[in-house]
Amino acid sequence: MAGIQARDTRPEMVVRKFLHRQGFRYRLHSPKLQGRPDLVLPRYQLCIFVHGCFWHRHLGCKYATVPRTREEFWRLKFAQTVERDSRTRAALLAQGWRVFEIWECGTRRPDPDLAWLIDAIPDYTQKHISWPPTDAAA
């Protein structure tokens, strides 16, 4: 687990490059905000988390598997991560921030469909988005 990156992951870089090409400027991993969001767009009062499907448990995703060894350990670890994500999201929403969660599986295609993000960023009615949606929500 020591080799797992927290910053500059491939999915994060895909989102960062896409937003930068579209003219959006952002802050990275702001220590001033709970959970240190991957991208912060202060102008739009928006935090973007780019979650790995395995670690953050994207429901219904084929990448959200559970290792066969030490299953109890992994299930506890995943449950703690999901709970922490939930607390972080709730705290940021309570402070007036909008929270977008982009899942790793949504950035894996050679040309990921992130066009929805361009319309969603300036739309202040969108307080929380999780993309792509889980199978359960679809």
Write out the chain in H/E/C secondary structure. Answer: CCCCCCCCCHHHHHHHHHHHHCCCCCEECCCCCCCCCCEEEHHHCEEEEEECHHHHCCCCCCCCCCCCCCHHHHHHHHHHHHHHHHHHHHHHHHCCCEEEEEEHHHHCCCCCCCHHHHHHCCCCCCCEEEECCCCCCC
pLDDT of residue 101: 95
pLDDT digits (tens, 9 = 90+) for 120-136: 999 999 999 998 876 54
What is the mean pLDDT of the segment spanning 20-31? 94
Q: What domains sit in the chain, N to C, each tagged with a CATH number?
A: 56-133 (3.40.960.10)
pLDDT of 1 strictly over 60: no
| Residue 110 in this model has a pLDDT that exceeds 80 | no
What is the predicted pLDDT for the residue at 3? 56
What pTM does this model have?
Answer: 0.88
